[in-house]
C-alpha cells in the first residue's frame, strides 16, 4: 500500500514525458511534411561514435543529405558506438535511430570467413541471436541498406567483413537495395573473400584505384568514384550551415599553419621526429600555429612529444639536439590547440593561404578542398599512403614526405617541393589546394551518386 502514492506520480511523469515526446515528433512531422508510417527506413552502416572527425563528417553529410532529399523517411544508423554517435549526430536528422546490431554480431568472431558465415546466419535466422532479434528485424525492414564510406573494411579489421556480408543478406531476404559507397579496401590479401562478402550488393563504389583493382573480374558491381567526404561539401548538405559545419570561420583557429598528427596506426616516435624536423626547418612561431584533434586524446600525443623535445632541449644538456633547440625557439606552447569537441562544434579551421601539415586523410581532403596548401605526412602503410595518393591522383597539389625517411629523399607530390637550405626538407608549400573546378566536379559527382541511390519517389 505504501508504494501506491509513489507509483501514481511516477506514472503521471511517464505519461507527461510521453506526451512531450509525441508532441515533439508531431512537430517534426509537420515541419518536414511527412506521414511517418508510410516510409520504410534507410539503414546506414558507419564506423561512427569513436569518435573520429573524418568518419563523423561523412555520416553527418549523409544524414543532412537524406534530411533534404527524403523528408519523412526515418534513418537507422548502425555503428560500433551508438551512444556517443547519438550525442554527436542526433541533431542532423529529425528521425534518426542509433543501434549497433551488425557490429555486435561481427564482433563475435575475429576470423573473417567465420564472421561472414555467422553474420549471414544470424540475419537469416532470428533464433541464432534472439537477444538481437528486434534489431535484426529492423534491419530487414529497410528500403536501402547502405555502408557509407570509410576505410573500415580491410585486413586491419577482418571481422568487419561480417558487417558487409550481413548487409547483403538482409537485402537478399527483404528486397532492399544494398550499396556500399566511398570504400577503401586496401590492405587486402584475399580479394576473393572480399568479393564473397560483397556478393549480394547491388553497387559498390571505391575511393581509390587500388581498391577498384582488387575487385576486377569478381562480378562485384564496382565503380571508382571518390570519397564520401565530397558529399559533405555539397549544397544539399550545407557547407557552412547546420549543427556541425565543415569549416570554421574563426580567425583565431584559422592560423597560418595547421597541424594534425595521429598516434594510432603509426609509430608515434617516428612521426614526432619527422614532424619536429619539418617544424624546425619551417620556423613558424607557435602563435601562428593551430593543432587540431581528429581523435580525442590520440591526436595530441605526437604534438606533446614534439613539445617535450623542445622543452628538454631548452634546458641543461640540450646542446646536442639541434632540432630540439630550433623547436624551443618557436615557443610551441603558444600554438592554439583545438580539441575534438570544439572541432566538431565549430568546424575545421581551413582557409586559402594556409599551410597544413597532416598525417590524416580527411583533413587533407577538406583543407585542400578549401584551397589551403599542405604537406601530407605519409606513414609508410598501404592504408594511409593509398588514401593520400588517391587525393593526389584526383588533383590535390599537396606535397608529401614519408615519416622516418630523410624528408628530402621521401618528398613527393604533384609539384617539385623545392628546397629549404641544407636540411633537405621541402620548403613551405604555396601551391594551394584543389582547383575550384576540380572541387565542383567532385562534389557534383558525389551528388549524382547520391541521387542515383536515393531517387525521389521510388520508395
Burial of 406 by CB count in 10 Å (0-12 exposed, 13-18 middle, 19+ buried)?
middle
User: H or E segment at 337?
Assistant: strand 336-338
d(CA 82, CA 89): 10
**pLDDT tens digits along 342-371:** 999 999 999 999 999 999 999 999 999 999
- What rounded mean pLDDT belongs to the chain? 89
Task: Tell me what pLDDT residue 21 has.
Answer: 55
Cα–Cα distance for residue pair 376/108, rounded to 1 Å = 36
pLDDT confidence bin for 9, thresholds 50/70/90: low
Distance CA 101, CA 134 (A): 9
In the numeric block, the cell 636540411 is attached to: 423
79-106, pLDDT tens digit by residue? 999 999 999 999 999 999 999 999 999 9
434's grid cell: 584543389
Contacts for 132 with CB less than 8 Å, ≥ 6 apart: 101, 104, 105, 122
Say if residue 459's pLDDT is above 80: no
Instruction: Report the relative pairing of strands 355-358 and 373-378 from DSSP bridges.
Output: parallel
Give CA–CA dist 214/195, Å, rounded: 9
Helix or strand (DSSP H, E) at 171: helix 160-174
Amino acid at each position: 500500500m505504501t508504494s501506491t502514492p509513489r507509483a501514481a506520480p511516477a506514472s503521471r511523469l511517464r505519461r507527461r514525458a510521453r506526451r512531450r515526446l509525441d508532441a515533439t515528433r508531431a512537430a517534426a512531422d509537420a515541419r518536414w511534411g511527412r506521414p511517418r508510417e508510410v516510409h520504410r527506413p534507410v539503414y546506414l552502416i558507419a564506423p561512427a561514435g569513436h569518435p573520429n572527425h573524418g568518419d563523423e563528417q561523412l555520416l553527418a553529410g549523409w544524414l543532412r543529405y537524406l534530411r533534404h532529399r527524403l523528408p519523412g523517411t526515418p534513418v537507422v544508423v548502425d555503428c560500433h558506438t551508438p551512444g556517443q554517435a547519438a550525442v554527436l549526430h542526433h541533431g542532423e536528422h529529425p528521425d534518426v535511430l542509433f543501434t549497433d546490431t551488425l557490429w555486435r554480431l561481427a564482433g563475435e568472431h575475429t576470423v573473417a570467413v567465420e564472421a561472414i558465415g555467422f553474420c549471414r546466419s544470424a540475419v537469416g535466422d532470428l533464433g541464432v541471436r534472439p537477444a538481437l532479434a528486434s534489431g535484426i528485424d529492423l534491419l530487414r525492414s529497410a528500403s536501402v541498406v547502405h555502408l557509407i564510406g570509410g576505410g573500415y573494411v580491410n585486413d586491419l579489421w577482418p571481422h568487419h567483413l561480417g558487417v558487409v556480408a550481413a548487409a547483403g543478406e538482409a537485402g537478399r531476404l527483404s528486397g532492399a537495395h544494398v550499396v556500399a559507397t566511398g570504400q577503401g579496401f586496401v590492405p587486402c590479401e584475399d580479394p576473393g573473400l572480399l568479393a564473397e562478402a560483397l556478393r549480394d550488393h547491388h553497387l559498390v563504389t571505391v575511393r581509390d584505384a587500388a581498391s577498384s583493382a582488387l575487385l576486377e573480374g569478381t562480378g562485384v558491381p564496382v565503380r571508382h568514384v571518390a570519397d564520401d567526404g565530397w558529399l559533405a561539401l555539397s549544397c544539399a548538405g550545407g557547407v557552412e550551415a547546420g549543427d556541425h559545419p565543415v569549416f570554421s570561420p574563426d580567425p583565431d583557429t584559422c592560423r597560418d599553419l595547421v597541424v594534425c598528427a595521429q598516434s594510432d596506426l603509426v609509430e608515434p616516435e617516428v612521426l614526432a621526429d619527422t614532424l619536429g624536423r619539418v617544424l624546425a626547418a619551417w620556423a613558424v612561431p607557435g602563435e601562428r600555429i593551430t593543432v587540431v584533434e581528429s581523435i580525442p586524446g590520440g591526436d595530441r600525443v605526437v604534438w606533446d612529444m614534439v613539445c617535450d623535445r623542445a622543452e628538454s632541449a631548452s634546458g641543461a644538456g640540450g646542446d646536442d639536439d639541434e632540432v630540439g633547440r630550433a623547436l624551443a625557439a618557436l615557443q610551441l606552447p603558444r600554438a592554439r590547440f583545438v580539441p575534438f569537441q570544439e572541432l566538431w562544434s565549430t568546424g575545421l579551421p581551413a582557409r586559402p593561404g594556409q599551410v597544413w601539415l597532416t598525417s590524416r586523410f580527411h583533413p587533407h581532403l577538406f583543407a585542400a578542398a578549401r584551397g589551403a596548401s599542405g604537406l601530407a605526412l605519409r606513414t609508410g602503410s598501404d592504408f594511409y599512403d593509398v588514401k593520400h595518393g588517391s587525393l593526389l591522383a584526383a588533383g590535390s597539389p599537396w606535397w608529401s614526405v614519408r615519416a622516418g625517411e630523410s624528408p628530402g629523399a621521401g618528398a613527393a607530390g604533384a609539384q617539385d617541393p623545392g628546397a629549404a637550405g641544407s636540411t633537405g626538407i621541402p620548403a613551405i608549400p604555396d601551391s594551394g589546394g584543389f582547383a575550384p573546378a576540380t572541387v565542383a566536379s567532385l562534389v557534383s559527382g558525389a551528388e549524382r551518386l547520391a541521387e542515383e541511390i536515393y531517387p525521389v519517389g521510388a520508395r
